[in-house]
Amino acid sequence: MDKTVKDAWNFIIGGQFQLNKHVQFRCEVGLLGSRTQVITGIQYRFGL
């Protein structure tokens, strides 16, 4: 297994959107050089 870093930098852009007081969406995209990544998520808040 080769664990060396191919690129020293990765450009990340993202954002989040709150639909209402219970639901929120989040997305990040990282791209630069030889790697690309996408991270998404949905958050739900219970009314406790």
Range of the domain at 24: 11-44
Phi and psi for 46 in degrees, rounded to 5?
-80, 145
Sheet holding 23-32, edge to edge: 11-18, 23-32, 35-44
Assigned domain for 2 exists: no
User: Which residue type sits at 26?
Assistant: R
How big is the chain, counted in residues? 48
* 17 located within any domain: yes
Domain assignment present for residue 1? The answer is: no
pLDDT tens, 5-31?
888 888 999 999 999 999 999 999 999
pTM assigned to the model: 0.69
**What pLDDT is stored for residue 2 in this prediction?**
85
Position 48 pLDDT exceeds 80: no
What is the Cα–Cα distance from 47 to 38, expressed in whole angstroms? 30
